[in-house]
C-alpha cells in the first residue's frame, strides 16, 4: 500500500510538472506574439562565454521596417517552403537525416519556424531534449502566431555577426544603413552568412559569400510573388 501511494504521488507530481510547463510555455508564446523579444538565450550564452568585453548589438524593428529583399532573401536561402508548411519540412528533415547517416557534413534540416523557436525560447544544442522542445515550441508558434510574426521574430533575433543580432543591427554594422534601405545584393549577402555568421563577412563578402549571394539573388528572382497571408 505504501509503495502504491508513493508511485501515485510520483505520477501526480510528474503530471503537475508537465501541466505547469505546458501552461507556462503557452503563456510565453502568447506574450511574444505581441511583445518584442528583448533578449534571447543565445545572447546570454555568448555573453557568458566571451573572454573580453562582448557588446550585444540588437535593435528591434517591425517587419515593415525591414527590407522586403531581406525578408525574401532569408526565405530563399533558408526555407523556400516557409509560407506553405506548418512548421516542419518533412522532405528536408529526411534528406538531412540521410546525409548525416552517410557521414556528410551535418545538416539540421530546420525550417525558419524551427529556427525561430530555438532562437526565441531555447539554447543552441544538438541534444534530443533540445530538439524535442524545439518541436513543441515550433508547433505552438505555428498555432498562435502568424507567419508574418514568425518571420518578424526570426529577422529580429537571428545572429548575423559576432555580437550582432537582428536585421537592423546587421544592416547598420555591415552596411551603415537601416534594415529598410538594404539593396537586393546587400540583403542576399546578409542571408548568405547565416550558416556561420561569426566567421563569414557580409561586407566585404568572401568569394564563397559572394557566390552564395548571387545564388540567393537568382532564387529571389525565380521565387515569384512572396506573400505570408
Cell of 180: 529598410
Q: Which pLDDT score, from 0 to 100, does residue 227 have?
A: 75
- Three-state DSSP class for 202? strand
C-alpha atoms less than 13 angstroms from C-alpha of 34 in its C-beta half-sphere:
3
With vertex at residue 200, the alpha carbon angle to CA 195 and CA 206, rounded to the nearest 5 degrees, is: 120
Residue 151 CA to residue 113 CA, distance in Å, equals 8
pLDDT of residue 197: 95
- Tell me the pTM: 0.90
What distance in Å separates the CA atoms of residue 228 and residue 205, rounded to the nearest whole number? 30
Give buried/exposed letters for 133-152 (b at 16+ CB in 10 A, else e): bbebbbbbbbeebebebbbb
Q: Which of 118, 145, 115, 150 is nearest to 133 (CA)?
A: 118
Cβ atoms of residues 170 and 160 within 8 Å: yes
Helix locations, 35-146, DSSP H: 41-49, 68-78, 90-101, 112-121, 128-144
Distance CA 134, CA 228 (A): 22
| pLDDT for residue 134 | 96
pLDDT tens by residue, 40-87 = 999 999 988 877 777 899 999 999 999 999 999 999 999 999 999 999
What stretches in the chain show pLDDT beneath 70?
1-2, 92-109, 229
Cross-strand pairs, 159: 165
Amino acid at each position: 500500500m505504501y509503495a502504491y501511494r508513493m508511485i501515485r504521488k510520483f505520477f501526480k507530481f510528474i503530471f503537475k510538472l508537465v501541466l505547469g510547463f505546458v501552461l507556462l510555455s503557452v503563456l510565453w508564446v502568447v506574450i511574444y506574439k505581441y511583445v518584442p523579444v528583448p533578449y534571447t538565450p543565445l545572447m546570454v550564452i555568448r555573453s557568458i562565454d566571451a573572454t573580453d568585453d562582448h557588446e550585444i548589438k540588437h535593435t528591434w524593428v517591425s517587419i515593415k521596417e525591414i527590407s522586403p529583399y531581406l525578408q525574401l532573401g532569408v526565405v530563399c536561402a533558408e526555407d523556400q517552403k516557409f509560407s506553405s508548411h506548418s512548421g516542419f519540412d518533412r522532405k528536408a528533415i529526411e534528406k538531412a537525416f540521410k546525409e548525416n547517416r552517410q557521414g556528410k557534413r551535418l545538416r539540421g534540416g530546420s525550417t525558419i519556424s524551427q529556427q525561430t523557436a530555438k532562437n526565441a525560447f531555447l539554447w543552441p544544442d544538438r541534444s534530443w531534449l533540445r530538439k524535442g522542445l524545439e518541436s513543441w515550441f515550433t508547433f505552438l508558434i505555428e498555432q498562435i502566431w502568424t507567419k508574418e510574426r514568425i518571420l518578424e521574430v526570426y529577422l529580429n533575433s537571428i545572429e548575423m555577426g559576432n555580437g550582432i543580432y537582428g536585421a537592423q543591427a546587421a544592416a547598420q554594422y555591415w552596411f551603415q544603413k537601416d534594415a529598410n534601405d538594404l539593396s537586393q545584393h546587400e540583403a542576399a549577402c546578409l542571408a548568405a552568412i547565416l550558416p556561420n555568421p561569426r566567421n563569414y563577412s557580409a561586407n566585404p563578402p568572401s568569394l564563397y559569400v559572394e557566390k552564395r549571394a548571387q545564388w540567393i539573388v537568382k532564387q529571389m528572382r525565380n521565387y515569384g510573388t512572396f506573400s505570408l497571408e
